[in-house]
């Protein structure tokens, strides 16, 4: 089958012809129709998991996908052949992922029947970014009327965070360059701050926020800041405020010492989370913006481009 894989950690992702996987007990084999691209895909290729998982190579990349159940293994009773499904498919220890014609998932894992009316390219864009956005907002425990800064608001996770935080009743300040300010407002942001002239210390960003909110804000939901940026942006928080990081940049002890709550995002997609996300999408409360669709053969280039930043929504790979 056609797949996009790396021959070792750090190697360039490349198209390869690899054997179709067989579903084991409790597993389903899915014929992938579309796969969603996430930063974690190139991070895995770089070796993000090398100290925690013994990977098999060639390692097929890709976490998110949508397609049709082709075969079910023994005891995999929850799903039936022919059923349209979406979810996460990465099995690094077996060299398997979603950027391939066929992918494997555990039937009791983060995979669900596709909601009626959802198309494959849309469904493939949902699992990782949608689950992260939902978890970020859950962790922030937002009360109606609170002011929340979303850093990295224009990306795949950020756009979901803006919508769900606004839905929870927050007054959302979204980071956005000029080209995305209108989109952020349409997604529910009350204000935008441009970080074009900001630096690593985030002095500019902090000044812009404080100019309007001189007594501080209630929460920061951050998809991009490293540890030092996080410490700096946390200065915007009122006593008792919350900082949630999608990239593990929070030192919870340091936050606690400042009278703040610091959380690093841990929750992943699950069948229940996918059901919550599809309800939100059905209700029109969560819109997933597809920035572009590319054929499987162009996935290596799309991964390289995502690494350089500038995402304005999700990239979907047509398999």
Ligand X SMILES: NC(=O)c1ccc[n+]([C@@H]2O[C@H](COP(=O)([O-])OP(=O)(O)OC[C@H]3O[C@@H](n4cnc5c(N)ncnc54)[C@H](OP(=O)(O)O)[C@@H]3O)[C@@H](O)[C@H]2O)c1
Where along the sequence are the contacts to ligand X (CB under 6 A)? 38-40, 128-129, 132, 151-152, 154-158, 175, 177, 195, 223-224, 246-247, 265, 306, 309-311
Q: Which of residues 72 and 263 has its CB atom nearest to ligand X in the complex?
A: 263
For helices 299-307 and 39-46, what crossing angle results, to 10°?
A: 90
- To ligand X, the closest distance from the beta carbon of 222 in angstroms equals 9
Rounded to whole angstroms, the Cα distance separating 245 from 69 reads 35
> Which residue number is nearest to ligand X in terms of Cβ?
155
Q: Which of residues 76 and 161 has its CB atom nearest to ligand X in the complex?
A: 161
Q: Which of residues 76 and 217 has its CB atom nearest to ligand X in the complex?
A: 217
- To ligand X, the closest distance from the beta carbon of 179 in angstroms equals 9
Q: Which of residues 295 and 309 has its CB atom nearest to ligand X in the complex?
A: 309
Rounded to whole angstroms, the Cα distance separating 54 from 23 reads 20
Q: Which of residues 72 and 277 has its CB atom nearest to ligand X in the complex?
A: 277
- To ligand X, the closest distance from the beta carbon of 205 in angstroms equals 7
- To ligand X, the closest distance from the beta carbon of 208 in angstroms equals 12
Rounded to whole angstroms, the Cα distance separating 293 from 139 reads 31
In this structure, the strands spanning 237-245 and 217-222 are parallel
- Peptide linkage before 58 cis (omega within 30 of 0): yes
Two structure tokens written together for 106: 């555990």
- To ligand X, the closest distance from the beta carbon of 143 in angstroms equals 24
Rounded to whole angstroms, the Cα distance separating 291 from 121 reads 11
In this structure, the strands spanning 191-193 and 2-6 are unpaired
Q: Which of residues 28 and 263 has its CB atom nearest to ligand X in the complex?
A: 263
**Closest C-alpha among 171, 172, 165, 111 to residue 138:** 165
- To ligand X, the closest distance from the beta carbon of 272 in angstroms equals 16
- To ligand X, the closest distance from the beta carbon of 18 in angstroms equals 25
Q: Which of residues 28 and 55 has its CB atom nearest to ligand X in the complex?
A: 55
Is there a contact between 70 and 31 (Cβ–Cβ < 8 Å)?
Answer: yes
For helices 127-140 and 156-167, what crossing angle results, to 10°?
A: 40
Is there a contact between 212 and 248 (Cβ–Cβ < 8 Å)?
Answer: no
């Amino acid at each position: 089958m056609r797949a996009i894989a790396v021959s070792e950690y750090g190697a360039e992702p490349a198209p390869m012809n690899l054997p179709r996987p067989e579903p084991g007990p409790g597993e389903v084999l899915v014929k992938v129709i579309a796969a969603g691209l996430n930063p974690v895909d190139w991070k895995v290729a770089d070796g993000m998991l090398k100290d925690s998982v013994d990977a098999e190579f060639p390692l097929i990349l890709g976490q998110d996908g949508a397609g049709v159940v082709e075969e079910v293994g023994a005891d995999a009773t929850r799903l039936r052949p022919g059923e349209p499904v979406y979810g996460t498919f990465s099995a690094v220890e077996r060299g398997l992922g979603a950027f391939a014609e066929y992918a494997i998932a555990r039937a009791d894992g983060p995979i669900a029947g596709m909601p009626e009316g959802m198309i494959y390219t849309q469904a493939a864009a949902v699992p990782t970014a949608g689950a992260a956005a939902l978890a970020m907002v859950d962790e922030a425990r937002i009360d109606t009327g609170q002011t929340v800064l979303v850093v990295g608001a224009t990306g795949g996770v950020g756009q979901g965070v803006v919508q769900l935080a606004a839905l929870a009743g927050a007054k959302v300040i979204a980071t956005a360059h000029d080209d995305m300010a209108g989109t952020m407002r349409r997604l529910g942001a009350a204000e935008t701050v441009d970080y074009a002239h900001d630096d690593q210390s985030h002095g500019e960003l902090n000044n812009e926020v404080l100019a309007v909110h001189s007594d501080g804000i209630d929460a920061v939901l951050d998809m991009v800041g490293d540890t030092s940026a996080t410490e700096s942006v946390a200065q915007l928080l009122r006593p008792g405020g919350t900082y949630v990081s999608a990239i593990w940049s929070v030192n919870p002890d340091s936050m606690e010492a400042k009278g703040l709550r610091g959380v690093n995002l841990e929750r992943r997609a699950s069948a229940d989370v996918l059901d919550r996300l599809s309800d939100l999408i059905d209700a029109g409360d969560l819109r997933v913006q597809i920035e572009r669709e590319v054929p499987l053969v162009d996935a290596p280039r799309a991964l390289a481009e995502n690494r350089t930043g500038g995402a304005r929504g999700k990239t979907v790979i047509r398999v």
